[in-house]
Amino acid sequence: MGDNKEYQLVGFIPGETNTLSITNGNITFETEITTPEIEDDIDIQVEKTDGDSNNELTDGLYTVLGHDKNYEANIYLYDNEGILRNELVLNDYRADRIIFDGDDMYYPYESRGIMKVNSLGKIARMYDLGKYRMHHDMILDGNKLVILVDEVGSDTKEDVIITLDLESGDVKEVVDMKDLLPELYEKAILPEDNETLDWIHLNCLTLKGDDLILSAREISTIVYVSDYETNPTIKYLITDESMLDGTSYDDLLYDKIGDFVDTAGQHSVTYIPGESDSEYYLIMFNNNYGSIVTRPDFEWTNYPGVGSYEEGDTSYFYMYKINEDDKTYELEDSLEIPYSSIVSSVQFVDDNLVVGSGMDNSFGEYDEDGNLISQFRYEAKKYAYRVFKYSFDNWFN
């Protein structure tokens, strides 16, 4: 019995009879395994179209998050041929990303709960967020998760950040954006038929040392928060100056170098190190969507070409170069990508760019010159929230 080993077998096609071959030395054992159907009505294989690039797709599985639902939306994993290879079943949420730490994975199981899953697919621990309900994003910082949340019962939403200690399970509120940007909070108006004020709508966070860089979709602004855990302070804002009219925040605004249109309704802002600590890059999905429902009188005249919820000409991959010494930002790189007014994601995987255009019901992978390698199209009544590509080394190594 000492030679017994336990493994997780992944990658079977659901609802089909799969052949499993195991070779040990000169001996091969073969058996058939019929896998159950998936829980939801989703494509077993999505449509794949090759682009102009001859480059190879990166290794890994495209991870489709939030397919058509904010709640009770499972995670679906597709290979490079567009074939569904796994379904991660959730309870009461959609999940926004998977966090990998060694052999373990962390992802939301429900809106107030996160689970730790080991390389055998077993739930190693469940974490309870208490009075907080997560939304949109979380990242790993040492032995804790930093999570965007709502405080249940609050008059506002999507404006609070907590930490979850992965050893003790303790939850701590570290940032309330109402305290950091009160003038923008006070400018917001609660729309009719809404119960809570979505005045800033944080939709992603990225870590730079002890600081956080946030995407605020409702005000089309990138927000840099210094010392988020001990003394959160706004270091700078990146947006068009018209977004700050009527506030005293002009001194926080970095200067734009060059002639380009600022992001509108951006997602997936991600920090990329540069030549120094003060000179670096931010990549993002610039939705190019002109909407701010809590400030209905805002004019989008400084954002030519922005689309509506249903229609738009194009969204963009944007890469900003940030210079903190000069207090400037410039457009280092851009690429037209399928239009998506809301949701969506961008991600560097090796030298390739993975793009999920939610409202377009597509995801694709581009080479380093911006040429499409392959695009995948899925069926959906609405959209998928994000599509990231992960190697899942904890399963395959």
Closest CA to 126 of 79, 91, 100: 91
pLDDT at position 81, please? 98
Cross-strand pairs, 170: none
Confidence at residue 349, expressed as pLDDT on a 0 to 100 scale: 98
The DSSP element (H or E) to which 318 belongs, if any, is strand 315-323
- The span from the CA of 338 to the CA of 191, in Å, is 30
Domain ranges of the chain: 17-396
0.75 exceeded by pTM: yes
Residue ranges in the chain modelled with pLDDT below 50: 1
CA separation for the pair 123, 132 (Å, rounded): 22
* Residue 24: predicted pLDDT: 85
Closest listed residue to residue 180, CA positions, set 242, 252, 131, 277: 252
Reduced to 3 states, what is the DSSP secondary structure of residue 109?
Answer: strand
Exposed / middle / buried, residue 207 (Cβ in 10 Å: 0-12, 13-18, 19+): middle
Convert 243-271 into a string of H (helix), E (strand) and C (coil): HHCCCCHHHHECEEECCCCCCCCCEEEEE
pLDDT in tens, 351-367: 999 999 999 999 999 99
Q: What is the pLDDT, as a whole number, of residue 211?
A: 98
pLDDT value, residue 394: 87
Q: Which residue has the tokens 């397919």?
A: 67
Torsion, Cα of 128, 134, 136, 140 (10° steps): -40
Give 19's strand partners: 32
- Tell me which residue of 258, 261, 225, 226 sits closest to 243, measured CA to CA: 261
Q: What is the pLDDT of residue 7?
A: 72
Class of domain 17-396: mainly beta
Q: Dihedral sign, CA of 314, 200, 321, 62?
A: negative
